[in-house]
Amino acid sequence: MTSLIPPGCPTVLTEDDRTGTSIETLRRAFMDNLFFIQGRFPEVATKNDYYLALAYTVRDRLLLRWLNSAKTYRDQESRTVCYLSAEFLLGPHLGNNLINLGLYEAVEEAMRQTGLNLKELLDQEEEPGLGNGGLGRLAACYMDSLATLEIPAIGYGIRYEYGIFDQEIRDGWQVEITDKWLRYGNPWEIPRPELILQVKFGGHTYSYTDDQGRYRVVWEPHQVIQGVAYDTPILGYKVNTANLLRLWRAEAVESFDFQAFNTGDYYGAVNQKIASENITKVLYPNDEQLQGKELRLMQQYFFCSCALQDMIRLYKQSGNKDLSRFHEKFTVQLNDTHPAISVAELMRLLVDEHLMPWEQAWDITRQTFAYTNHTLLPEALEKWPLDLFGSLLPRHLQIIYEINQRFLDQVRLQYPGDNDRLRRLSIIDESGCRYVRMAHLAAVGSHAINGVAALHSELLKQTVLKDFYELTPQKFSNKTNGVTPRRWMVLSNPGLTRLITERIGEDWVKHLDQLRRLEPLAEDRDFAAQWRSVKHENKERLAAYIRDRVGVTVDPHSLFSILVKRIHEYKRQHLCVLNIITLYQMLKDNPQLDMVPQTFIFGGKAAPGYYMAKLIIKLINSVADVINHDPAVRDRLKVVFLPDYNVTLGQRVYPAADLSQQISTAGYEASGTGNMKFALNGALTIGTLDGANVEIREEVGAENFFLFGNTVEQLQELWRNGYRPWEFANSNPMLKRVLDLIGSGYFSHGDTALFRPIVEHLWQNDRYCLLADYQSYVDCHQQVLQVYQDQAQWTKMSILNVARMGKFSSDRAIREYCQDIWHVEPVKIVLPATSYMTP
Ligand code: OAK
């Protein structure tokens, strides 16, 4: 290839406007972009113009690394991890990219010199909310770690036009507002209109024997849709690696329009186009609650088919003719069962389209895929009614039948006559209405299966995948989740980052275990005072935000106790409410009570169709309303519900927490990752032995963790003996009083019906055992208050928590996946010494 640089031009560009990093160059490049991309003179530019000009300035620096990463991977035919996920909850890009480029301070200064404030520009960015919660955010942390560890990786997903809804609170209720995140454009993505793949739906199949005597199946679809790629570079921290996040948008196939147009059905053609594009229109806002909608299955198949076709394209691009080594080039992780249809799709592509014998195709398929489970909740386990599945994906249903038959034949050999086991293991659920069980498809089609925390991985083997574990125990492992310290500390908590780095250097950002070196400082009074003052400043900032956004004044000297996550009964936000009302009653009973001033802060979205979750939001706001306005409380207790909890808000909240509430029913929270973010930012945890809480407590030490509640075994015992929640309520005067108060209409202007569903459910059924854990929680909280009064002790515990959080870096988690499941090695990216334009 010849150079793109005209003869006579210098080829050593050390400080050009698109890649240079001096303050002067950054400033010039920024002004240049304002003029030539935004088309604005500074006098008339809006904040958004400035944000976009800066985003493009930063993007140029990413592209240099991104194109060189792609070229290196191509040249070296690098083994590549493909992370398939229906959700990537990235959060805003600009700040994160500045941190990872190591340019935050330089750009801050360049903006200052231009008369602008970087923080204000950062606030302009509308975050891409392409996920619901934990699973999507984990995918984003893993993309950051993959790039930071210099692992060749591609994230494949869906470019939803509308992400997770924006939440407003009106009269205490959640109201959903559509999230038009693309309204002002997205400077971080590069559309690839020429990279288009076709995806088929519906229709029928027929078979024939070809002239070489091979049995062939042809799928004649009812509809063809095309997927267009949108690429986003994901840069690692202070490395040259920038990996690819490739999201697919659905479009109508041109020829379909013409066909209908020619037959005179213009409106039919337009409708067809709209229907096609609907596939990637909106993210389903359900979190761990199945919604068996046809469009959802279409979304899943759509992005999996695009991803696999794209991998085959890339594989062939590097000169490989047949696909016999596909699994050597790619290893594919299935982020829960949403991409599980990939197993059948890869089989279809290999067998039907590339004429590979079934056995060989099956070997490759199983060596390609690995499956991560993220929930044990029965209502979240995906299953599709057979008729719906068959009408949308007729060929895949045949393939699944074939996979299932061969699989069950093997089981029969191992367990002759055990029909019950066959029924339990089958990919097809035959009890009543027949279903395809996606977890079974993922388990059969993968060489590795993992849970996301030690306890969860154990429970997985004992419950939902018990029979699979008995069959192939060697496939199972645990990979405890982690979070990226770049976004969740360096970007969001600059004060603490500075303090830590002053004492132990900056290595910890990439090697979080290094935080251990803070341990000796836990006894250092000077350090402790600085630690406290960083926390206090973070609390002041959050207090100011709360005042602006919610109109409630909270005291930064009070204990900030925070519960932010999706609203779900198993996460037990309402248990926290029961404790708040208990504290309130104590203050009402004894107005002179010397109680530590406390601020309870909640945040989280409820699935729009999940009535109980929405009622819990209303309950929190109703209780807040009464308590915040009761003069008897004298500001010792405040309750706040922060609307529209998202990644951006998380970045404000975690650094400001004193106490992290991790109070799910033992056995229900697969891992949790908010628990890690809080502890990393110096909050102490009040929590149950659930998910990763167990391991956090192990790491930080039992003496630095506030533990309460029944264990999984104790709860099992409780249910075995017949759990009778009313006995807990009747035998506990304060608990009964609290429940009665809610039921009496005290928090609902006398309306006794409003919160009845919550109260009655707790009395009569209490699936998540709030009443069984209530007293233990209340007692534990009193212990928290006692320790908080001893600020020296509290600070020491806080420092030790941070010092011992090394395990919970997503870098550690990704290293484990690389070693145990993916078998991939880092690839160093070296930037060319000459021009960035020279290929
Ligand atoms: C969402 C939809 C279906 C299945 C699982 C989820 C999900 O978000 N699960 C969450 O995954 C997180 C990442 O592994 C865990 O930390 C959470 O505990 C789990 O609830």
pLDDT digits (tens, 9 = 90+) for 306-336: 999 999 999 999 888 899 999 999 999 999 9
C-alpha 41/C-alpha 26 separation (Å) is 17
C-alpha 182/C-alpha 758 separation (Å) is 38
Per-residue pLDDT reduced to its tens digit, 522-531: 999 999 999 9
C-alpha 381/C-alpha 361 separation (Å) is 27
C-alpha 56/C-alpha 125 separation (Å) is 13
Whole-number Cα distances in Å, 252 to 196, 200, 268, 276, 611? 11, 12, 12, 5, 36
Say whether pLDDT at 413 is over 50. Answer: yes
Among 288, 335, 338, the mutation site with the greatest number of ligand 1 atoms within 8 A of its Cβ is: 288
Distance between Cα 705 and ligand 1 center (Å) = 23
C-alpha 139/C-alpha 89 separation (Å) is 7
Whole-number Cα distances in Å, 572 to 115, 663, 679, 686? 47, 6, 20, 13
Say whether pLDDT at 27 is over 60. Answer: yes
With beta carbons less than 8 A apart as the criterion, state whether 800 and 696 touch.
no
Q: Which CATH class is domain 513-711+769-805?
A: alpha beta
Among 89, 135, 450, 567, the mutation site with the greatest number of ligand 1 atoms within 8 A of its Cβ is: 135
Distance between Cα 382 and ligand 1 center (Å) = 13
Least confident of 12-26, 543-557, 576-590: 12-26
C-alpha 294/C-alpha 288 separation (Å) is 17
**Which residue CA neighbors atom 4 of ligand 1 most closely?**
288
Say whether pLDDT at 481 is over 50. Answer: yes
C-alpha 296/C-alpha 298 separation (Å) is 5
Interval 573-597 mean pLDDT: 98
Segments making up each domain of the chain, as ranges: 10-76+92-126, 77-91+127-481, 513-711+769-805
**Which residue CA neighbors atom 12 of ligand 1 most closely?**
134
Per-residue pLDDT reduced to its tens digit, 240-282: 999 999 999 999 997 555 566 667 777 777 787 888 899 999 9
Q: What angle do CA 198, 144, 124 make, to 5 degrees?
A: 85
- pLDDT band, very low/low/confident/very high, at 834 (cuts 50, 70, 90): low
Per-residue pLDDT reduced to its tens digit, 491-514: 999 999 999 999 999 999 999 999
Q: Tell me what pLDDT residue 5 has.
A: 44
Chain CA centroid to CA 453, Å: 15
With beta carbons less than 8 A apart as the criterion, state whether 772 and 570 touch.
no
**Which residue CA neighbors atom 16 of ligand 1 most closely?**
672
Hey, what amino acid is at 633? V
- For 641, phi and psi rounded to 5 degrees? -110, 115
- pLDDT band, very low/low/confident/very high, at 6 (cuts 50, 70, 90): very low
C-alpha 711/C-alpha 73 separation (Å) is 48
Distance between Cα 377 and ligand 1 center (Å) = 10
β pairing state of 448-451 and 173-177 = unpaired
Share of the chain above pLDDT 90, in %: 92
Q: Tell me what pLDDT residue 291 has.
A: 82
C-alpha 696/C-alpha 451 separation (Å) is 16
Q: Tell me what pLDDT residue 432 has.
A: 85
Q: Tell me what pLDDT residue 549 has.
A: 97
Chain CA centroid to CA 760, Å: 33
**Which residue CA neighbors atom 1 of ligand 1 most closely?**
288
Q: Tell me what pLDDT residue 260 has.
A: 63
Residue with tokens 């500001």: 635
With beta carbons less than 8 A apart as the criterion, state whether 767 and 758 touch.
no
Say whether pLDDT at 2 is over 50. Answer: no
Q: Tell me what pLDDT residue 635 has.
A: 87
Distance between Cα 565 and ligand 1 center (Å) = 11
Q: What angle do CA 268, 270, 275 make, to 5 degrees?
A: 90
Distance between Cα 286 and ligand 1 center (Å) = 11
With beta carbons less than 8 A apart as the criterion, state whether 181 and 524 touch.
no
Mean pLDDT of the chain: 95
Distance between Cα 296 and ligand 1 center (Å) = 18
- Please give all residues whose beta carbon lies within 6 A of any atom in ligand 1, as ranges: 133-135, 138, 287-288, 336, 374-375, 380, 452, 481, 669-673, 691
- Report the complex ipTM: 0.99
- Output the six-digit token pair for 187: 């400077």
Ligand 1 atom nearest residue 286's Cα:
2
Tell me whether the CATH fold assigned to 77-91+127-481 matches the one assigned to 513-711+769-805: yes
Ligand 1 atom nearest residue 673's Cα:
16
Per-residue pLDDT reduced to its tens digit, 192-206: 999 999 999 999 999
Say whether pLDDT at 4 is over 60. Answer: no
β pairing state of 153-158 and 476-478 = unpaired
Architecture of the domain whose range is 77-91+127-481 = 3-Layer(aba) Sandwich (3.40)
3-class DSSP state of 706: strand
Interval 645-666 mean pLDDT: 98
Q: Tell me what pLDDT residue 256 has.
A: 53
Say whether pLDDT at 14 is over 90. Answer: no
Catalytic residue set: 374, 565-566, 571, 673, 677
Distance between Cα 90 and ligand 1 center (Å) = 15
Q: Tell me what pLDDT residue 835 has.
A: 55
Q: Tell me what pLDDT residue 257 has.
A: 55
- Output the six-digit token pair for 376: 């044990």
β pairing state of 383-385 and 330-335 = unpaired
C-alpha 111/C-alpha 119 separation (Å) is 10
Say whether pLDDT at 669 is over 80. Answer: yes
Say whether pLDDT at 98 is over 60. Answer: yes
C-alpha 821/C-alpha 824 separation (Å) is 9
C-alpha 39/C-alpha 61 separation (Å) is 21
Q: Tell me what pLDDT residue 366 has.
A: 98
Distance between Cα 365 and ligand 1 center (Å) = 25
C-alpha 155/C-alpha 149 separation (Å) is 15
**Which residue CA neighbors atom 3 of ligand 1 most closely?**
288
With beta carbons less than 8 A apart as the criterion, state whether 287 and 566 touch.
yes
**Which residue CA neighbors atom 17 of ligand 1 most closely?**
672
Ligand 1 atom nearest residue 669's Cα:
18
Q: Tell me what pLDDT residue 261 has.
A: 61
Q: Tell me what pLDDT residue 315 has.
A: 97
C-alpha 420/C-alpha 418 separation (Å) is 5
Per-residue pLDDT reduced to its tens digit, 363-408: 999 999 999 999 999 989 999 999 999 999 999 999 999 999 999 9
Say whether pLDDT at 690 is over 80. Answer: yes
C-alpha 49/C-alpha 39 separation (Å) is 9
Q: Where are the alpha helices (DSSP H) in 37-165?
A: 47-76, 94-101, 104-113, 118-124, 134-148
Distance between Cα 546 and ligand 1 center (Å) = 28
Name the DSSP class of 522: G
Per-residue pLDDT reduced to its tens digit, 179-194: 999 999 999 999 999 9
Nearest to 603 by CA among 671, 685, 686, 660: 660
With beta carbons less than 8 A apart as the criterion, state whether 379 and 607 touch.
no
Q: Tell me what pLDDT residue 741 has.
A: 98
Q: Tell me what pLDDT residue 838 has.
A: 54
Helix 494-504 vs helix 525-550: crossing angle, to nearest 10: 170
Q: Tell me what pLDDT residue 320 has.
A: 85
3-class DSSP state of 318: coil
Ligand 1 atom nearest residue 670's Cα:
18
